[in-house]
């Protein structure tokens, strides 16, 4: 069975601090994809990134970076120099062959960035 664990439920930081959101996954599939979605106060789920299981290169997009490590089944997300607008709930998700295109989500982690 596929499973995504986000151990942190809530984090509060002060603006400009760096923050890392942890994600650990379980799957028996050899081909799978990992995602991060952001849910701002307005409610929608906003796609941030997708990685496939064969690509362990870390990725940086502006203040966001992702560290994918198959050896530890982790796909962690770091926000550098956090801003108030980063305040949201962040979800890690997984899709794989066993589950076709459906996403299996973690419980989400609420990030609050204070001025």
Q: Which of 101, 103, 104, 98 is nearest to 30 (CA)?
A: 98
As a whole number of angstroms, the distance between CA 61 and CA 64 comes to 5
The reply on whether position 37 binds another protein by CB under 8 A is yes
Please return the burial class of 14, using the count of CB atoms within 10 Å of its CB with bins 0-12, 13-18 and 19+: exposed
Q: Which of residues 39-98 bind another protein (CB under 8 A)?
A: 42-47, 50, 52, 91, 93, 95-97
Q: Site for another protein (CB under 8 A): how many residues?
A: 28
Residue of 16, 63, 70, 107 interacting with another protein (CB under 8 A)? 107
Applying CB under 8 A, the residues found at the interface with another protein are 4, 31-33, 37, 42-47, 50, 52, 91, 93, 95-97, 99-108
């Amino acid at each position: 069975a596929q499973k995504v664990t986000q151990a942190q439920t809530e984090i509060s930081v002060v603006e400009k601090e760096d923050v890392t959101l942890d994600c650990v996954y379980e799957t028996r599939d050899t081909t799978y994809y990992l995602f991060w979605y952001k849910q701002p106060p307005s409610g929608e789920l906003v796609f941030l990134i997708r990685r496939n299981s064969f690509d362990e290169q870390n990725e940086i997009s502006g203040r966001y970076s992702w560290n994918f490590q198959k050896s530890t089944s982790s796909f962690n997300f770091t926000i550098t120099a956090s801003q108030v607008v980063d305040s949201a709930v962040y979800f890690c998700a997984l899709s794989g062959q066993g589950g076709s295109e459906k996403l299996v989500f973690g419980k989400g982690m609420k990030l609050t960035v204070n001025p």
